[in-house]
Each structure stands twice: as C-alpha cells, then as structure tokens.
Amino acid sequence: MMEFMGYRRADGTVGTRNYVGVISAVVCVNEVVEAIVRQVQGTARFTHHQGCCQTPLDIGRVNQTLIGLGRNPNLHSVIVVSLGCESTDISKVTESIRASGKRVEHIVVQEVGGAARTTAQGILLAQEMVREASLQQRELFPISELVMGMKCGSSDTTSGLVPNPAIGVASDLLVSAGGTSILGEVTEFIGAEHILARHAANDQVADGIFKLVERMEVRAMAVGEDIRGGQPTGGNIKGGLTTIEEKSLGAIAKAGSAPIQAVYEYGERPAVRGLVVMDSPGREPEILTGLAAAGCNVITFATGRGAPQGFPFVPVLKITGSRTAAEKMSDHIDMNLSAVIDGGDTIPDAGRRILEELANIASGSMTKAEISGYTNSMDIYMLGPVI
Amino acid sequence: MAIDAIVLHSADNVATAVQDLKVGQKAIVRLGREISHVSLVEDIPYGHKFAIRSITKGEDILKYGEVIGRATNSIAAGCHAHVQNIESLRGRGDLNKEA
C-alpha cells in the first residue's frame, strides 16, 4: 500500500499542505487579503469577484463555496476578511468552518476602520496563527486519504492521447486503494455523456450525469448562441481539436474505468469514496475552486499546450503528452509523458508514475505552480447575473 | 519507430498527426501495432487530423471509434479534416435561432 506524509485534521480529513488561509468574503476586500498574505509566509489567499449584488441562488453558492474552501484539509486555520455590508452570510461561513474543528478568525474592514488598519490587524493575527500551524508535524497516512481532483486545460490533441488516459489509470489505482477522485468539467462531457453514463454505478447516477449535461447545454443554448464560439476554445482549434464532441471524448478519458459512485453539485464534498462527478464548467479559476471546495487535497491537471495555473493551497500536478509543451512551457509542466506517442512508454506505466508522483507531492514535494506562485487568479462558478 | 500519425480505433476515418506533415508526404500511420501509409494532399500541422479514406458530405467523422462531428463537404483521403469541413452536432443554440 502506498503512503504519504500528511497533516491530520480534527474532522478526520488529511491535509497535504498546512497553510493559514486568508479568505475574501466579497470582491471588495481582495486588496486587503492580498496585502496580508504578501507580508506573512505560510499563508495562502483565496480571492474572487463575488459576494454582493447577485441573486440569492448565487449568494448561497458563494456561502457554500467559501465554507468548503475553509474546511479544505490543506488549511490549518482560517482568517475570513469581510467588508461589513456584503451579501455573503459571514456568520454562517465562519460557524460552518469552525464546526470542522479549525480556528477561524473574522475581521471586518468597516469595523476596524479602513484597509490600512485591517491589513495591519490581519498581518499580526496571521503571524500568530502561522506560528501555531507550524507546530503541527506531518504523519504517515495511506493513499486512500487522497482526494484527487482531475482537470485538463489548454488541451490539444495530445491531451486525449496521453495525459488524460494516464490520469484515468492513476484514478483507477487510487480508487482501488480506497481513495477518492473527482471528475468535473461538465461542458466537456457534451457529446460523450452516453459513454460516461455507461460507467455509472447505478441508474440514478447515470440519470444524474445526463441531467448535468442537459443543464449545461441548455444554459449555453439559452443565450441563442452556438456553444462552439467558446468551446472548443480558439487555442484548442489551433491545436487541432475540431468539435466539442472530440474534446469531450479526450477529456473523459480521465475517468478511467472505475464505476462512478455519485453526482454532486459544484463544490459539494463527496459523502462516498471512489470516482465521483461534480458539476463544474471547464474554465480554470472556477473548476479549481470547485475541486478545492469539495475537499480535494491534490489535483492532477493534463495540458496539451501548457496551462500555467495552480491553486493557492492545493498542489496542482501538471502533466503533458506534448514534447513541445514540455520544452516550451518547462517552468509550468511537472511531468512529461510524450514518450507514449512514439511507443517508448505506455499509458499503464505512465499512470502508475502519476500516482507515485502524487504521493510525493502530497508529502510536501512542491509543484511548479507552487514554486512559481502562479496560483491566485481564482473565482467561484456563478449561474446568474451581476445585478 | 518514429511515426507520423495515430489512428485510435479501427472504425475511425481520420488520423491524428503527431508531427508537422507536408503535402506530398507519405505519412506513416499507426493503429495499435499496424502501420499503414497515407499520401497527404495538404500540409497537416502537428495535432491536426486528416482523412485516411475518402469521406462524403454529411458522413459522420469517427475518432476513438465515436462520432466527433459531421462532414460539411466531401473530404478526400490525405486532406486536412478540421473546422473548415467538419461541424459539431452539439450545443447548437444557433440552429434553434435560425428555425
């Protein structure tokens, strides 16, 4: 059984990192959060553009997402920064995170008296909390404690040929060891949902997959546009992907062959182990946030042309099957599997190496995205308009 | 051996280039362990697809053994198969608008 060194949390989950999270309750305080995090090592921020002037449905989603992020096992403790007049339900957010057994502090810019004073107070508080977090030691855990998010971005033809099926193998191995993997990117199920539904553990799950795809497709069509304007993206087309169906068939290879146990809403924490599906769009800021809110402690990310984004407090392992991307985007790519193309490597071997690398990353080995700090352009997936 | 293109399923009518390929070239195409050759009628950029047999207008385009779209024109063997001659069948809000 493979193992990794992680951080034990009070609610039974296991962290692969040990940050003090500084979370914006609303877009208006992002600059305070940035200023605090800039000054204190050992913190990670989550900033976004939501939390005010939105429909109740979306505000509910902001609340749930912030709760999920705060409860993510990679955060030791949390500071929530709010403005004071936002729509986000701050007491619900802070109480729900606190219920997981973490220390949660809350600072309000309009009460403290402006950005400068709040920043100073936040810095002092964060320093004290980082000191407390740094006392915790890593312990040995089986890889069944990994919750792996899966994503592909800046795809080209090689994504569907190499890294996606290799991630599928890694996911199968993780699931058979008792772990959890989460497949998102519902936009990229379009045209391949019938294949994915064949993997469903039961009819209810299959039905859930079809409903998610229908909802996504109807939403895109409701604006009277051709979804092809946005999917596949211009970069995908330049890379040789012609239709959303083609992109989807390559994308769902990440699902591997394990049965899909359940279907969840965006950012919802799985109640079961094994392979599950989560509603989410394909764009990086929103899906990475959704996976983190669902409790992922590692994320695998297949790329064809070379996508740079990581996530502020969840390590994102970048994997490519393109020799060109591995060379040209070397400061963003962690694993180069391009030897599979010529037949010098195989998908099953590559998949096993991905799982081994995940165990290393989970134990503290840093990803390129973490080293470069290219992790902060995040957002929450919204359904309605800004009003 | 270095190959020029991959076919992923025996039912497929397109191959995917894994090198930049030139017009007139006899592309080495791999399907599993089988190697075949297709003479290219156009340049095929790395990552792009070409027809491995002649495809008629309206015919399904198959990759991974599954339908990825429909030919909007006939595509001769060795021709570039991409957005200029293949259309998606999904998420087409524009079709409803025209109707």
Q: Give the closest-approach CA distance of B53 to chain A in angstroms.
A: 18
Q: Is residue A207 part of a domain?
A: yes
A347 touches chain B (CB under 8 A): no
Instruction: Please give the ipTM for the structure prediction.
Output: 0.92
Query: Angle of helix A90-98 relative to helix A56-71, nearest 10 degrees?
Result: 30
Residues of B with Cβ-Cβ distance to A243 under 8 angstroms: 68-69, 86-90
Mind telling me how many Å the CA of B46 is from chain A's nearest CA? 8
Same domain, A61 and A149: no
Q: Order across the sheet with A180-183: list the strands.
A: A260-264, A274-278, A180-183, A147-153, A298-303, A316-320, A335-336
* Of A315, A289, A325, A326, the residue nearest A374 (C-alpha): A315
Q: How confident is the model at residue A223 (pLDDT cuts 50, 70, 90)?
A: confident
Which pLDDT belongs to residue A227?
Answer: 63
Question: Are both A192 and A334 inside the same structural domain?
Answer: yes
**With 70 as the cut, is the pLDDT of residue A140 above it?**
yes
Segment A239-279, tens digit of pLDDT: 898 998 888 888 898 999 999 999 999 999 999 999 999 99
Is the pLDDT assigned to residue B4 strictly greater than 50?
yes
A41 within domain boundaries: yes
Q: Which of A134, A157, A178 is the last residue of a domain?
A: A134
Min mean pLDDT across A2-11, A16-25, A335-344, B39-48 is at A335-344
Among A113, A134, A155, identify where a domain stops.
Answer: A134
CB-CB under 8 Å, A246 with B96: no
Distance from CA of A317 to the nearest CA of B (A): 23
Which range among A225-239, A277-291, A368-382, B23-37 shows the weakest confidence by mean pLDDT?
Answer: A225-239
In a domain, A1, yes or no: no
Distance of CA A383 to the CA centre of its chain: 18
Regarding whether A275 and A196 lie in a shared domain, the answer is: yes
Same domain flag for A206 and A327: yes
Position A352 in a domain? yes
Contact assignment for B47 to A160 by CB distance below 8 Å: no
Q: Count of domains in chain A?
A: 2
Tell whether A148 is covered by a domain.
yes
A 10 A CB-CB count for A292 gives: 26
**Distance linking the first and last C-alpha atoms of chain B:** 51
Those of residues 175-214 in A touching chain B at CB distance below 8 A are 190-192, 195
The answer to whether residues A149 and A119 belong to one domain is: no
Cβ contact B68–A249 (<8 Å): yes
Residue A2 covered by a domain: no
Return the pLDDT at B93. Answer: 62
Nearest CA in chain A to B2: A342
Could you tell me the residue range of the domain that residue A352 belongs to? Answer: 144-372
The answer to whether the CB atoms of B90 and A190 lie below 8 A apart is yes
Distance from CA of B90 to the nearest CA of A (A): 7
Summarize pLDDT for A19-77 with one digit per residue, the tens. Answer: 999 999 999 999 999 999 999 999 999 999 999 999 999 999 999 999 999 999 999 99
Q: Are residues A127 and A255 in the same domain?
A: no
Cα angle at B82 between B77 and B85, to 5 degrees? 75
Q: What is the DSSP string of B2-50?
A: --SEE--STT-SEEEESS-B-TT-EEEEEETTEEEEEE-SS-B-TT-EE
The residue of chain A nearest to residue B50, with distances taken between CA atoms, is: A240
Residues of A in contact with B81 (CB under 8 A): 242
Q: Do both A215 and A294 map to the same domain?
A: yes
Check if B66 contacts A (Cβ < 8 Å): yes
Kindly report which listed range (A86-90, A335-339, A341-345, B39-43) carries the lowest average pLDDT score.
A341-345
How high does pLDDT run on average in chain A?
Answer: 94
pLDDT at A216 over 70: yes
pLDDT at A311: 98
Measured between beta carbons, the chain B residues lying within 8 angstroms of A322 are 47
Higher pLDDT, residue B86 or A193? B86
Closest-CA residue of B relative to A232 is B88
- Asked, for residue A99, whether it belongs to a domain, the answer is yes
How many A×B Cβ pairs under 8 Å? 107
Residue B96 pLDDT > 80, yes or no? no
Q: Is the pLDDT of residue A114 over 90?
A: yes
Chain B contacts of A246, Cβ < 8 Å? 63, 68-69
Q: Is residue A234 part of a domain?
A: yes
Helix (H) or strand (E) holding A299: strand A298-303
Where is the domain boundary, A134, A158, A191? A134
Domain B5-98 indexed as CATH 2.30.130.110: yes
What are the residue boundaries of the structural domains of chain B, listed by start?
5-98
Please indicate, yes or no, whether residues A248 and A301 belong to a single structural domain of this protein.
yes
pLDDT tens string A152-192: 988 888 889 999 999 999 999 999 999 999 999 988 888 78
Residue B99 pLDDT > 90 = no
In this structure, the answer to whether residues A107 and A148 fall within a common structural domain is no
Largest CA distance in chain B: 51
Could you give the maximum distance between any two Cα atoms of chain A, in Å? 63
**A298 or A239: whose pLDDT is higher?**
A298
pLDDT of residue B89 exceeding 90: no
B3/A contact by beta carbon, under 8 A? yes
